[in-house]
Structures are given as structure tokens and as C-alpha cells.
Structure 1
């Protein structure tokens, strides 16, 4: 890695340690001085308010760019089409698994923190009002009105409009990508005050519900890690074995350094250049890698999908207003669209979670503050699952289009053909630059 990458890694470690210390301090304060801890709730609320502030721009940019990427990926023929179909099916399956596990485990059951909810003004009372409410007054007002369904609606219109413009729309798409970069930079800045928000949120929750709150949060976090591990080993491993005959554990061993990098940064984006280089070394052709990996980073978000649905079920249960089956299906449909682009940037998953609740159950949005303290710990599992899913997808797509050197794959996974770290470089598939010796 470059020197600048190491510096970014160090800064992220400091933030990670600060969150851990803040959570521990919040627990101590909540148990030692419950009444005082309850008064710290506005600190957590302020952090959630900052996250809510970023919902509309995050959703708008990711959806517009995502729709544009679909058109671009589809033009490359069979590889792009197969990749998109695979990503949509797998991410939808992951969302459904999150819902099922959330309903089975119910880590938030028994915790009565309904006082953290709020009354929603202007909520639609009928199906007609709901449908008409999706249409904003103006194209721009959707970004400032607080209605996430309006943001989603306008983003889809803009995305499809850019598709119809063809090459003439590419400068606009590049401009939106720059805006997205700015939005994610601001979001990253907000995440630097996550320790303060986590302290206030955990202290208030612990002060209100006592040790039972910690048990509920720990149950959610452990259940999420177990679900992600089983998804990787059973689902991804099974699909990889059936489609290619290769072993998931050998692949994970081959990607060991990348896993360490992801754990350190809580973002799968940090390992993108290395994944491209390693997949090419593994024996997958450059065109397949160049199409599948970048597209997967926007559309194949298995870990994020599991997190979004499990966290939503937890928040609803904790606040005493569980989601019915219809609301869960509605959330699933929204998350299928809105989750695209939530990978790679720390904090984007939290913003997408808030956006999904805002669109389907606005009364639950403030409940996001309940999991601020553990979101950072769950981000590693999200990123690792996303990364593994993209690696598996690249091999599977390559196998389907017969663009994999199976002999080379066998040599690499057996350890006989080692990846040359000293000379690693990456073609500029998605703006990734050459990676220097680590």
C-alpha cells in the first residue's frame, strides 16, 4: 500500500478505538447514573439528525449513478447482463435472509423504548394520498422536503433520463459522481463525531432499559455476525461449489490480506484495487474482472442487505411497534433499490437504513440512534461479506462465460502460484490506480 493509504488506515484505527471507548464509557455512565444518562439522549439525537440530513443526497446520487451503471453494464453484452442478474438475485436473497433471521431471533423483543419515537406530521391516511404524495411539487423540492419516496422517484426519473440521452448524458453523470464524492466526504466527516453520538446514545439507552438493553444490542450484533458467516460459508460457498467446483475456504485464504485491510478500514472499497489484481492473477480474464468487480461494488451488497433488514426489525421491536408482513415486504422492495451504492463508504449503510425507515415507517427513524453505538462494530461484517460476495461473483460469472483459466485457479488456490505483491499493478477499470508495494 502507499504511504497515504497507511495514514488513512491509522486515522481510521483511531476512530475505531474512540468508538469502543465511547461505548464503554456510555455503558458505565448508563449503569452508574441512569437519570443523568437519560439526559444525554440529545447527544445521540444530534448525531442521528446529522445522518438524516445526508439521507436525501446519498439516496439520490446512488440511485442515479446506479441506474446509469445498469445501462452501461448492459451494453457490454453477456457478461454485464449475467452479472446484473446475479447481483440482483443474491442481494434480494440476502435482504430476505435478514428479515427471516430478524423475525426468528427478535433481539429487540421485551425492550420498551417507545418514548424515543415521534409523531409524524402529514402522514398519508389513504392509498390515494400515499401514491399522490410520491410526486413532489417540483423536481428540486424532493431533495429538501424530507420525503424519501419522492427522492427515490425523482432519482429514478433522472437516471432513466440520462440513459435515454446516451453519450450526451455522460458529462451530467460524471458531474453527479463528483457530487456523490462530495456527499460521501461530508458523510465521512460526520462519522468522525460518531464516538460522541455513540456515547450519548448508549448512555441514554442503558440508563432507560438497564442491562437488558446491552443484552439486546449484543444479541443483535452476534446474530448479525453469525448470519453473515453462515451466508458466506453456506450460501456463497454452496453457490461457488455448485457453479465452479472451487472451495470457498481456499478462496478466502487467498484473499487473507484484503480481509485484514477491510477490518482495519471497515470498508470494502479500500480493497477494490487489490481485488481486481488478485482476480486477474487467479485466472479470470481482464474483461470479466473489469466489468464484474466495479459493477458488484454498486449492486452486490450482501452484507449491507442483511444488516438493513435485521436492524430495521430490531428497531421496530425495541420501540414497541413491530412491522407487519406487508410493511416488511415494502421495506424489502425499497431496500432492493436504495441499498445500491451503500457499500464502500463507512456510514453509508447507516444513512441507507435511516432512509428505508423514513420511506416506510417514519415513526421509527429516531430509533436509528439505538444502534449508533454498535453500527461501527457491525460495519466490518458488512464489508467482509460484501467483498467476499464480489470475489465469488467474479469467478462464477467468469465460469459461466468460459473466461476462467481453471488450471491457473487450481495453481493459485493450492498455493503453488503465489501473488506477486512487489509488482502488483491494476489497470484503470474504475479509477483504481496502480498499487505500490505494501
Structure 2
């Protein structure tokens, strides 16, 4: 059975079981669904810390095989910013036209201040860890990225002396990807638990006051996913957008279910390579994208959420505030860290705008429903940018791109031999 059919079946069964659990108050079914979903997400998160570290360490050292690697990395980051700006602009326009916070019946008293929040000081000082153990224990992804970047640059500076460490790192990375692949195969079962839990706990009661906001998020992500991305592929990369979605679909659908960009990262890298992006470059661009490229969670969502919360608390936003939202979306997206949820990014945006952090509490209940489409958009963008840059730099394998399909992936990519150095 095709993987996407299994996912859809999981979605349907999750809705059915969740509805039954809520409608007939079946406690054991609700508990079972919650346990299945929590276990699946826990298995994904189990590999996140070492996966991020070794993926980025290996990706930086792999850039040795790419001529003009600095230019390639620079253009990747540039396209990260360009697409984020487009996404946040769409979110702001939707919010201005639809007024998602008006007529909801919600009041400031319905909000609750989150236990933790993000600030620019925390963001800047939190990049550098105080020790090497805590970031892995507490899953501080940004600090893990920092340590991996430093280790990768140090390995490049050492040259041949660092080769034993690099060989070990590559082996550990393949081992982690293999183990995570087994977890990914459980995604249809995890889908039943995650969707079932959401339906059993919240039902359809939330769709009333949050209807406009929810529709805005899904419409905004759809405009970026099926409007902006195909336009960029057709005009910038000059390739067939349909082929992109055929090749990237396994990663997009897994992201929708798992709600984790980092958990989806091995699949994203494989589909990116299957789309003709050189493995050496993909192994750099995708891990960095999985931790910093968040068009759904860090661009569309905070833009709409800021407008929603401002309207609930009766705070007027002006041009300066809208520009600040765009700035935070581009610069602060790394704070989202590719994990389930975008609360840190939202609190960072609200604190920058001077909006009450209690507004976060208004959105926590509806967040699981919104996070699915946000993460799918994130992952699609993480695969898109390497294709754009590769096409512009004339290193995209067009034969591979045009023959990409949505068939299930196997794990042969992890063991694929490295290609010859890529010339840019």
C-alpha cells in the first residue's frame, strides 16, 4: 500500500476514533490515542539532538567537495530570507483583509501567560551553551546547531587529522537515519493517535471562535505552498513545479502528520537528492533549513497571530509594527528550532511588538490543528530552496528532477556513495 494511502487511512481512523471517544466518553480510547501519539512524537524527538548535531557537522565538512561553497551557502541563506519575506507578507495581507480576531467572542480574560517565552536577549545569549551536556538533555536545538557548526569548522581547519572523527560522524549519522527511518514507517499508526487525540480532546468546539483564524492559516500556507513555490520553480529555477511536488510529497505528508521539521529531515534530504540536488549540497542545505527555514511557523503564523491577538486586546498596529513582524520572521526563525509547535517564535514576536504574552494562551488549544499545515509548508520550503539554488547554479540534475515520482522512499540513499566534487 502506498505510504500516502497509509497516512490518509491513519487520518480517517484518527478522526473516527477521536469522535467516538469524545461522543461516547470512552476514557480508555482517549487514553490509548493520547499514548500512541505521545509515543510516536517521543520516538521522533529521541533522535533529534544527535541527528541535528551530526547532520550539520557532516554537512559542513561535505562542503569541501563543492567548489565555491561559500557562495552556495550564501545564496541558500539569501533564498531562505526571500521566501520568508514573501510568506510573512501573505500572512499580514490575509490578517488585514479578514480581521481574524474580530467577532470571536474571546476576551483578554480568556488568555493565559505561557510558562516560558522568547526574548531577543534569550535568543542571542541562548545560542552559546554553558556546557556540552545540557543542550542535548533539554533539547536546545539552537545551541546544538552552534556546537555542530563550531565542530565542523574546526574539522575543516584540522584537515586530514580530523578524518577519523569525520568517518565516525558519518557512520553515526547513517545509523541515526536508519533508526529514524524505522520510526517514520510507524507514521500511519502515529497519525491515528495524534489526530484522534486532537479530536477527542477538542472536538469541533474550537472551530467557532477560531474559524477565521484557522482558515487564514490554512489559506496562507496553501498560497505559499501551491502558489508562491510553483511560481518560483517556474520562473527562477525554470523547471516543472508538478515534478517538484511529485518528488517532495513523501516529506510533505510526513511533516503534516508528525508536526516536526527535524523529525522529517532524513526524508526531506532524500527527496531533495531525488529531485536532482547534489548530495554534498543537499546534506548542507536541508539540515540548516530544518532548523532555520520556517515559512509556516515563523512567517505566516506569527504574522496572523499578532494581528489576531492585537484585535482581541484592542491594540492598534501600525506600519512600524508590521515591519517589525517581517524583521522578526526573517531573523528570529531559528528560535522555532524545527520542533513541534511555534510558541517560542510567537512569544518572541509578541514581546518585540509589545503585545501581551497572555495572547499565547488563546492559541494553545487550537495549535495542534494549525501546526500540521504550518510544518508541511516549512518542509516544502526546505526542499524548495536547494532546488532553486541548484538550478540557478547549473548543478541540478535535470534528468533526475524530471523523473522524480511520489513513490515511497527506501533507505538506500543513506548508503549511497558520495559523488565527485561539484563545480559551481
- Give the structure-1-normalised TM-score: 0.61
CA contact (8 A) 2:301 2:374 kept: no
Please say if 1:237 is aligned against 2:230. Answer: no
- The match for 1:282 is none
Cα distance in 1 between the residues matched to 2:183 and 2:154? 27
User: After alignment, is 296-305 or 206-215 more displaced?
Assistant: 296-305
Q: Residue deviations 1:177-235, cap 9 Å, x none? A: 25743467557757743433333334555555443434432331122111222222333
- The match for 1:372 is 368
Q: What value does the CA root-mean-square deviation take over the aligned residues?
A: 5.4
The structure 1 residue matched to 2:389, chosen from 369, 388, 393, is 393
Q: Residue deviations 1:271-305, cap 9 Å, x none? A: 976875774xxxxxxxx834444444435679963
Cα distance in 2 between the residues matched to 1:162 and 1:369? 45
Q: Residue deviations 1:327-350, cap 9 Å, x none? A: 7644533435876xxxxxxxxx55
Cα distance in 2 between the residues matched to 1:152 and 1:97? 26
SS of residue in 2 equivalent to 1:139: coil
SS of residue in 1 equivalent to 2:82: helix
- The match for 1:218 is 215
Cα distance in 2 between the residues matched to 1:191 and 1:358? 32
- The match for 1:335 is 333
Q: How does 1:12-411 map to 2 (within 5 A)?
A: 12-23=4-15, 51=41, 58=48, 61-62=51-52, 64-78=54-68, 80-106=69-95, 109-110=101-102, 112=106, 117=112, 119-120=114-115, 127=121, 136-145=129-138, 150-165=143-158, 166-174=162-170, 176-178=172-174, 180-181=176-177, 182=179, 189=186, 192-202=189-199, 204-205=201-202, 208-240=205-237, 246=238, 248=239, 251-252=240-241, 258=247, 279=276, 289-299=278-288, 305-309=294-298, 310-314=300-304, 329-330=327-328, 332-336=330-334, 350-351=339-340, 353=342, 356=345, 364=360, 370-373=366-369, 375-376=371-372, 384=380, 386-398=382-394
C-alpha spacing 1:97/1:185, structure 2 compared with 1 (3 Å): farther
C-alpha spacing 1:290/1:337, structure 2 compared with 1 (3 Å): farther
Q: Displacement, 1:167?
A: 1.9
SS of residue in 2 equivalent to 1:199: helix
Cα distance in 1 between the residues matched to 2:53 and 2:189? 25
C-alpha spacing 1:178/1:370, structure 2 compared with 1 (3 Å): farther
CA contact (8 A) 2:268 2:286 kept: no
C-alpha spacing 1:50/1:162, structure 2 compared with 1 (3 Å): farther
CA contact (8 A) 2:55 2:287 kept: no
C-alpha spacing 1:255/1:356, structure 2 compared with 1 (3 Å): closer
CA contact (8 A) 2:54 2:148 kept: yes
Unaligned runs of 5+ in 1: 1-6, 241-245, 280-287, 340-348, 434-438
Cα distance in 2 between the residues matched to 1:48 and 1:118? 24
C-alpha spacing 1:54/1:62, structure 2 compared with 1 (3 Å): same
Q: Displacement, 1:140?
A: 0.4
SS of residue in 2 equivalent to 1:193: helix
C-alpha spacing 1:271/1:46, structure 2 compared with 1 (3 Å): closer
CA contact (8 A) 2:111 2:361 kept: no
Q: Displacement, 1:307?
A: 1.5
Q: Displacement, 1:84?
A: 2.0
C-alpha spacing 1:382/1:397, structure 2 compared with 1 (3 Å): same
Cα distance in 2 between the residues matched to 1:199 and 1:365? 22
Q: Residue deviations 1:234-259, cap 9 Å, x none? A: 3333223xxxxx4x4xx235567536
- Give the structure-2-normalised TM-score: 0.63
Q: Residue deviations 1:24-80, cap 9 Å, x none? A: 7768998x89x999xx899779957985896696256325522541342155212x3
C-alpha spacing 1:93/1:367, structure 2 compared with 1 (3 Å): same
CA contact (8 A) 2:10 2:192 kept: yes
Number of equivalent positions: 375
Unaligned runs of 5+ in 2: 256-263, 351-356, 418-424
C-alpha spacing 1:430/1:373, structure 2 compared with 1 (3 Å): same
Q: Displacement, 1:260?
A: 6.3
C-alpha spacing 1:260/1:383, structure 2 compared with 1 (3 Å): same
Q: Displacement, 1:139?
A: 1.8
